């Protein structure tokens, strides 16, 4: 991990050398303070990289955390004379606590509410900083803010403080980089891409978002500390709503998902007014305009342009032959594996389950038992309620009435992430992969529930964290190879349909669940792909997994299933072996319609 990051080394080195090229005298000193400003802004903007870029949440309160960090630090260090480092720790604790609190109360809401609540928080903070004179000194602000005294260097000048700030920034950037590539980071990205799929893979939507909020707030606070210590003086007018918008702009304009992009954005937006000085009155209007244009027409930010340019240059230099992705075929072992025999021990029992939507009774009084080792299939005409059953089983819908017992435990109305942790995994009818994650990362997310290292462990780079990620990665790789898939580093959205299905199945089985729920795995596949899929299901069954699948393709069903249940109008109309139910007149009638003539 650390060695991998070394390739980024040129960036801080260049940044560290910048002040040496500044002109002498007043102009140089002015630019020196701007550089410090940029670094502190960039640190705060990194918070938004985590929150907006990774977890996809909106916060327009970053300036509030920036301010809280700056003020708590300054008050402790100046008014109470507490040591520099202790003040930093205390300040970071307070800001992340605020972030945690704000996240916890507002994340139950949809994202638009969240944005508004953060604005509210921003305004409250502003008003409090302006008026709580006893704490903040009111409009007068706080002066004589210290800089750290480092052994052997003494009090820091603008130049040395810039270097100090740069080091702090690099540490923050490393932590963010580390977070992005950790188990938690995968979870964040998964959440951003698809909350339902994330929850179905064992990720607690709520708490993971709250953590992102706390980390983001702490980074905002850290930026604030650098700001306060760098400018030696703070007053409330810096920490207003517009500064929040400005942080937002930095992250977006540069590239919200990229650390380098965000830093680039921070530099650009801090120095832009200097460049545009001749347009003075129009500067802010141009800001606004830039945001609109970049967001609507360049959603990945300016840095994505740089990357694209570099990539095309690289291609031209190497003239690399691009492999045709459609021809990378999964290589499957064709020898039939030994399949376990179904036992009589019930794994999952559904008792008189009903689920109604308004006036529509999607599922009505359904009884169903799945025994250990079964490959049960749920069939029935369109709209007969099969998918609803699966959604209720996996916790996405609540039940209207009835009980679901899994290994003797009532699991009805548990949240999807809890059900996942109990060993029930699923795939979706319309494939819910995380489109921006690679195939390998998608499957590694499936292993989330097996990990143990949380936020603190990740941030402190606890070695166990690396090991767990290694395990998750290796498991993911094994499972994908097991299913005959080898395009590990292709983003899910770029995979052809059939392969997306395979990756989704891999994601569902990587954590070795006991029960696998598959919603129309063969939908949209041609004969060859369907045949390959039944091979795959044989092999999964041979691993000892019990399965419940929904399917329409009867030849596929009769080749894989050990037991069939037929639904019509939300009720079970037949059960038994596949051959048996297909001969059942009630089933034929449900599928093909009444054979009786009508007048």
Helix/strand number for the chain, H first, E second:
25, 12
Task: Report 378-397 residues binding another protein (CB under 8 A).
Answer: 381-384, 387, 391, 396-397
Give 353's strand partners. 366
- Residue 360 is a binding residue for another protein (CB under 8 A): yes
Three-class SS state of 391: helix
Sites for another protein among residues 100-119 (CB under 8 A): 105-106, 108-109, 111-113, 115-117, 119
Question: Which residues, 56 to 75, sit near another protein by CB under 8 A?
Answer: 56, 58, 60
Other C-beta atoms lying within 10 Å of the C-beta of residue 294 = 19
Q: Which is nearer to another protein, 246 or 511 (CB)?
A: 246
Which distant-in-sequence residues (6+ apart) come within 8 Å of 384 by Cβ? 567, 568, 569, 570, 590
**What are residue 142's phi and psi, to 5 degrees?**
-125, 130
Is 79 a binding residue for another protein by CB under 8 A? The answer is no
Nearer Cβ to another protein, position 334 or 382? 382
Applying CB under 8 A, the site for another protein has a residue count of 83
Give the integer Cα–Cα distance in Å for 27 and 29.
5
Q: Is 127 in the site for another protein (CB under 8 A)?
A: yes
For residue 328, give every residue at least 6 positions away whose Cβ sits within 8 Å of its Cβ, in sequence order, or none: 486, 487
| Residue 287 makes contact with another protein by CB under 8 A | yes
- CB of residue 105 vs another protein: minimum separation in angstroms? 5
Among residue numbers 458 through 477, which ones bind another protein (CB under 8 A)?
Answer: none
Half-sphere exposure of 513 (CA within 13 A, CB side): 33
Q: Is the dihedral of CA 279, 28, 239, 16 positive or negative?
A: positive
547 to 576, contacts with another protein by CB under 8 A? 552-556, 558, 569
Minimum distance between the CB of residue 12 and another protein, rounded to whole angstroms?
A: 29
290 touches another protein by CB under 8 A: yes
Q: How far, in Å, CA of 518 to CA of 18, rounded?
A: 57
Rg for the chain (alpha carbons), in Å? 29
Nearer to another protein, 131 or 343 (CB): 131
Site for another protein in 339-358 (CB under 8 A): 358
Enumerate the β-bridge partners of residue 388: none
Q: Are 248 and 48 in contact (CB under 8 A)?
A: yes
Q: Which is nearer to another protein, 13 or 293 (CB)?
A: 293
Asked if residue 3 binds another protein (CB under 8 A), the reply is no
Kindly tell me which of 382 and 409 has the beta carbon lying closer to another protein: 382
Piece in contact with another protein (CB under 8 A), picked from 309-317, 364-372, 472-480, 582-590 = 582-590
Of 151-180, binders to another protein (CB under 8 A) are: none
Show contacts with another protein in window 503-542 (CB under 8 A).
520, 523-524, 526
Is residue 284 involved in binding another protein (CB under 8 A)?
yes
- Please say whether the beta carbons of 96 and 162 come within 8 A: no
* Near another protein by CB under 8 A: residue from 2, 6, 14, 296: 296
Q: Which residue has the tokens 């004969």?
A: 527
Q: Are 147 and 76 in contact (CB under 8 A)?
A: no
CA distances to 31, 319, 493, 591, 592 from 599, rounded to whole Å, are: 90, 72, 52, 21, 18
Query: Interface with another protein includes 249 (CB under 8 A)?
Result: yes
Instruction: Name the burial class of residue 283, with classes exposed (0-12), middle (13-18) and buried (19+) by CB atoms within 10 angstroms of its CB.
Output: middle
Among 248, 406, 434, 485, binds another protein (CB under 8 A): 248
Report the residue number, 151 or 359, with the smaller CB distance to another protein: 359
The verdict on 598 binding another protein (CB under 8 A) reads yes
Stretch that binds another protein, among 142-150, 166-174, 443-451, 589-597 (CB under 8 A): 589-597
Q: Is 295 in the site for another protein (CB under 8 A)?
A: yes
β 424-426/515-519 pair status: parallel
326 binds another protein (CB under 8 A): no
Instruction: Specify the residue, 87 or 125, whose C-beta has the smaller distance to another protein.
Output: 125
> Which stretches does DSSP call E strand in 290-398?
346-357, 360-371, 375-379
Q: Which of 25, 134, 154, 585 binds another protein (CB under 8 A)?
A: 585
Give the nearer residue to another protein in terms of CB position, either 85 or 497. Answer: 497
């Amino acid at each position: 991990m650390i060695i991998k990051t070394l390739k980024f080394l040129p960036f801080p080195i260049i940044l560290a050398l910048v002040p040496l090229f500044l002109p002498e005298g007043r102009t140089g000193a002015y630019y020196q303070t701007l550089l410090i400003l940029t670094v502190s802004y960039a640190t705060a903007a990194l918070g938004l990289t985590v929150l907006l870029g990774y977890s996809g949440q909106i916060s327009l309160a970053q300036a509030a955390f920036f301010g809280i960090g700056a003020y708590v630090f300054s008050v402790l260090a100046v008014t109470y004379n507490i040591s520099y480092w202790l003040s930093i720790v205390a300040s970071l604790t307070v800001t992340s606590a605020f972030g945690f609190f704000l996240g916890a109360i507002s994340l139950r809401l949809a994202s638009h509410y969240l944005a508004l609540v953060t604005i509210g928080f921003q305004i409250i903070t502003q008003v409090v900083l302006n008026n709580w004179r006893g704490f903040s000194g009111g409009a007068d602000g706080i002066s004589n803010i210290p800089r750290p005294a480092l052994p052997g260097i003494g009090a820091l000048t603008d130049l040395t403080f810039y270097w100090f700030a740069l080091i702090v920034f690099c540490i923050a950037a490393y932590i963010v980089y580390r977070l992005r590539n950790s188990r938690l980071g995968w979870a964040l990205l998964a959440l951003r891409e698809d909350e339902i799929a994330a929850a179905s893979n064992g990720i607690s939507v709520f708490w993971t978002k709250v953590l992102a909020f706390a980390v983001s707030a702490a980074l905002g606070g850290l930026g604030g500390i650098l700001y306060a210590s760098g400018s030696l003086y703070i007053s409330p007018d810096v920490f207003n709503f517009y500064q929040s918008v400005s942080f937002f702009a930095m992250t977006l304009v540069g590239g919200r998902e990229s650390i380098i992009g965000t830093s680039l954005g921070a530099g650009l937006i801090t120095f832009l007014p200097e460049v545009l000085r001749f347009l003075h009155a129009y500067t802010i209007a141009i800001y606004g305009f830039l945001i609109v244009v970049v967001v609507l027409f360049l959603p990945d930010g300016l840095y994505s342009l740089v990357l694209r340019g570099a990539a095309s240059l690289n291609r031209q230099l190497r003239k690399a032959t691009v492999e045709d992705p459609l021809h990378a075929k999964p290589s499957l072992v064709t020898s039939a594996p030994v399949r376990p025999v179904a036992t009589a021990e019930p794994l999952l029992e559904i008792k008189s389950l009903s689920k109604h939507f308004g006036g529509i009774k999607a599922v009505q009084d359904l009884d169903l038992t799945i025994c250990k080792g079964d490959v049960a299939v749920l069939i029935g005409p369109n709209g007969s309620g099969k998918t609803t059953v699966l959604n209720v089983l996996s916790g996405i819908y609540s039940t209207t009435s009835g009980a679901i017992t899994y290994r003797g435990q009532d699991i009805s109305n548990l949240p999807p992430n809890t059900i996942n942790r109990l060993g029930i995994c699923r795939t979706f009818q319309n494939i819910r992969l995380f489109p921006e994650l690679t195939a390998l990362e998608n499957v590694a997310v499936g292993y989330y529930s097996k990990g143990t290292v949380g936020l603190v462990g990740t941030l402190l780079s606890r070695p166990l964290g690396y090991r767990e990620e290694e395990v998750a990665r290796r498991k993911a790789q094994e499972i994908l190879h097991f299913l005959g898939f080898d395009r590990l580093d292709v983003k899910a959205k770029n995979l052809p349909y059939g392969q997306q299905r395979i990756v989704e199945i891999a994601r569902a089985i990587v954590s070795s669940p006991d029960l696998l729920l598959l919603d129309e795995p063969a939908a949209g596949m041609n004969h060859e792909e369907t045949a390959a899929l039944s091979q795959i299901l044989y092999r999964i069954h041979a691993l000892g997994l019990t399965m419940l699948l929904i399917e329409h393709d009867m030849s596929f069903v009769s080749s894989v299933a050990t037991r069939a249940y037929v639904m019509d109008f939300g009720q079970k109309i037949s059960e038994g072996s596949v051959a048996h139910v297909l001969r059942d007149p009630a089933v034929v009638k449900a599928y093909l319609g009444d054979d009786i003539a009508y007048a």
